[in-house]
A and B are shown apart, each in its own frame.
Chain A
Amino acid sequence: MQGLDDTLGQILTAHRKDPRRLVQILRAAQSEAGWISPEIAAFLADELCMPISRIHAVVQFYAFLYDRPVGRYRVLFSDNIIDRMLGSVALRQHMQRRMKVGRGAVSADGLVSIDTTSCTGMGDQGPALMINNRQIVRLTTRRIDEICDLMRDGAPLEDWPSHYFTISDRIRRAESLLGTSYVPGKALAQAIELGPQGVLDDLRRSNLRGRGGAGFTTAMKWELCAEAEAETRYIICNADEGEPGTFKDRVLLNSFAERIFEGMAIGGYAIGARHGVIYLRGEYDYLRAPLEMKLAAMRQRGLLGTNVLGVPGFDFDIEIQMGAGAYICGEETALIESLEGKPGRPRIRPPFPVTRGYNDMPSVVNNVETLCKVVEVMRIGGRAYALLGTKQSTGSKLISVSGDVARPGVYEYPFGVRIQTVLDDCGATDVAAVQISGAGGMTLAPHEFGRRIAFEDVPTSGAFMVFNRSRDMFEVARNFMHFFAHESCGFCTPCRVGCALSASIMDKIAAGLGAQYELNELTRLGAVMRTSSHCGLGQTAGNAVADTLQKFRPDYERRLMAGDFAPAFDLDAALERARQVTSREDAQAHLEGVA
């Protein structure tokens, strides 16, 4: 225990005993001890002078923090519908059989635990799993067998074949962002030439809009933040790419990181911020070390640090903070809560982050892709930038294409591209549906494939999941509903209860016990969630069910039973436990299945 206390002491010192770094401290403690034991929780609560309930609240909120022992190898299979379509369920069951462990359980010898997790951002090269924060893609039965052998031998992950952990970029189509060479510091030098106000003016002329999905005008966000009275400001990069089916930020973080950093530095210069924070999703832990190295190289070149590019008084540096497996932290105020060491629950707005954000200071939260686009605007100028794309959606957009296509990967198009064009380019045939913008987005049927990707028509954060005619759109919607039920932060009732009820109704229909009544209930619950949830998660959670109910109704109706209503559970089996303790077997001790 003494050794552990020392280790924890070092972790605390590294984080300056700052309670706002609780998520980071817990991640570090867990990587030493495997899980957050009651002793660790008590020690940290004591040292950080906070009630132990706060530690528990954080540990229980994040999927990658554990309050009970897990296996020495923690295996998490990505459970997005795309992974499932690639056979992830059978692969997981295969591994469970071989390692003799149930889903969500730890093997008897404590060697391995196997469970599922929300989309890990590998839709273009799944099925994927995570093992102790490392990602393995392109799983096959053979690869699973090899992994099982390595785990049985107790081989440390560093000794596993390195090609297991190779993640490819798979850039299939490049435009102004992916297809242009980059000279480090050039955009920042241009920004300094324009001056802070000049940068904001040029950005306004470009009409650049945020790439995270909501499409707020970037210039306006920066101006509002710059105008807020405060002694310090923050530029935050939202790299919590959790939307199922999205992986374009992974590619940018892997191969275009300098542009992200430079975009943040330009933001820092324009609004007068000295600190930048990248909030990197826990699933992308493997990207952290390369990003730190690239940050160090940027500092060497004088593009970060004090007196950046020799400009006196222009100090700007960037740190990376890790998420811990919570989709909701992609919502900007939940992200800020997480940065402050709390469970990631969206804040009540206003005040908006631009006036009161991280540490209660004005903060700009921008998507990874948006920050890259800032560099582009500086390079070619706002007016030239605005010429690409459509009137209200300027520039290009990265699309993460996955599912039933010949060539999954990242495609860059000018805004305004038709759905059908993307389908043709990625080699999709016999398409039944496209799910745009993730689990909460729109489900488009073939008669809508002439529509355009743009804020004016079909807005997107970047996900583009393709389903051919052999797919069951009911199962797609059911997968998404369970995703939301799992990821709801639990703060507001319409979302917490609505998602859980909707998911269990979908399960009931899947079991063949649903009737028209259940379809009506789904519609009614969807309306309640859409109109009265606290944040975008709950407001959009019912979208896929509503869209598929409308456009793919036969997939639901063929599952409905003939009768009026049936319970979702076996009533007679529900009496079994009471029969046991009373030793009764008389007629009254049983219930008929149907009234």
Chain B
Amino acid sequence: MQAPTLDRSPDTAETTRKLRVATASLSGCFGCHMSLLDIDARITELVKLVEFDRSPITDIKTCGPCDIGLVEGAVANSENVHVLRELRANCQILIALGACAVNGGLPAQRNHLDVGEMLEDVYRDIDEGLPCVPDDPELPLLLDRVRPVNEVVRVDYFIPGCPPSGDTLWKYLTDLIGGRMPRLDYDLFRYD
């Protein structure tokens, strides 16, 4: 793995600066964000080390320059693409978080169906039975296939799991924040 790590060597001013972290959920279930909350009381330790930028946790909608970006969910529509590109452009290190971000996950189950036929089947006029797919410009359009995030932007790290546990995220983030190459032991991957 040739992904970057953060320079947190003790003799630089970097050690004292709080790292900025952005998070986003694309087409997912927010389960990975729930896991982030699942680190429980350790979140108070975390906020001593980092400051949250754009994130459902802070409700900030746009992203500024950050050190770490965490992306949950797959890329299923045009808005997902915009959010993902914004994160990639602003984050030094981008992490694909959970099965949907890594592989496409459950949202990608629609990939063997035609997206047009699917929309027409879902949106049918109750009386006439004719397709009436919403066309409001505010609605993001669906991509023909759901993609894992690394097919749309470059990704530095992948954390598998559906969702990865709170302990997994804690270990990963503390390694990264400490300037170490993140390592996950086998027991953090085991689900049976």
A contacts, CB < 8 Å to B: 515, 517, 520, 524, 564-565, 567-569, 571, 574-584, 586-589, 591, 595
Task: Write out the residue numbers on chain B whose beta carbons fall within 8 Å of the beta carbon of A589.
Answer: 78, 137, 141
Q: Quick check: is B4 within 8 A (CB to CB) of the other chain?
A: no
Q: Which of B126-156 contact A (CB under 8 A)?
A: 131, 133-135, 137-138, 140-145, 147, 151-154
Task: Write out the residue numbers on chain B whose beta carbons fall within 8 Å of the beta carbon of A524.
Answer: 1
Contacts A568-B151, A582-B134 known; A574 to B145 CB distance under 8 Å? yes
CB–CB B153/A581 < 8 A: no
Give CA–CA (A574, B114) in the complex, Å.
12
Give CA–CA (A589, B151) in the complex, Å.
20
- Which 7 A-B pairs rank lowest in CB-CB distance, beginning with the nearest? A565-B154, A595-B85, A578-B141, A582-B135, A586-B137, A581-B116, A574-B143
Q: Quick check: is B115 within 8 A (CB to CB) of the other chain?
A: yes
CB distance from A563 to the nearest CB of B (A): 10
CB–CB B81/A578 < 8 A: no
CB distance from A279 to the nearest CB of B (A): 35
Partner of B78, one of A520, A581, A591: A591
CB–CB B135/A578 < 8 A: no
Residue of A nearest to B142 (CB): A578
Residue of B nearest to A586 (CB): B137
Residue of A nearest to B3 (CB): A520
Give CA–CA (A389, B140) in the complex, Å.
70
Chain B: how many interface residues by the 8 Å CB criterion? 29
Contacts A520-B2, A583-B135, A584-B137 known; A578 to B154 CB distance under 8 Å? no
Q: Which of B27-81 contact A (CB under 8 A)?
A: 78, 81
Residue of B nearest to A580 (CB): B116
Q: Quick check: is B120 within 8 A (CB to CB) of the other chain?
A: yes
Give CA–CA (A41, B140) in the complex, Å.
46
Give CA–CA (A583, B89) in the complex, Å.
31
Task: Write out the residue numbers on chain B whose beta carbons fall within 8 Å of the beta carbon of A576.
Answer: 144
Q: Quick check: is B119 within 8 A (CB to CB) of the other chain?
A: yes
Task: Write out the residue numbers on chain A whose beta carbons fall within 8 Å of the beta carbon of B138.
Answer: 588
CB–CB B133/A595 < 8 A: no
Task: Write out the residue numbers on chain B whose beta carbons fall within 8 Å of the beta carbon of A564.
Answer: 154
Contacts A571-B81, A581-B116, A589-B141 known; A595 to B154 CB distance under 8 Å? no
Residue of A nearest to B151 (CB): A567
CB distance from B156 to the nearest CB of A (A): 10
Q: Type the 1/0 row for B3-45, where 1 means its CB is closer than 8 Å to any CB of A.
A: 0000000000000000000000000000000000000000000
Task: Write out the residue numbers on chain B whose beta carbons fall within 8 Å of the beta carbon of A584.
Answer: 135, 137, 141
Give CA–CA (A558, B114) in the complex, Å.
37
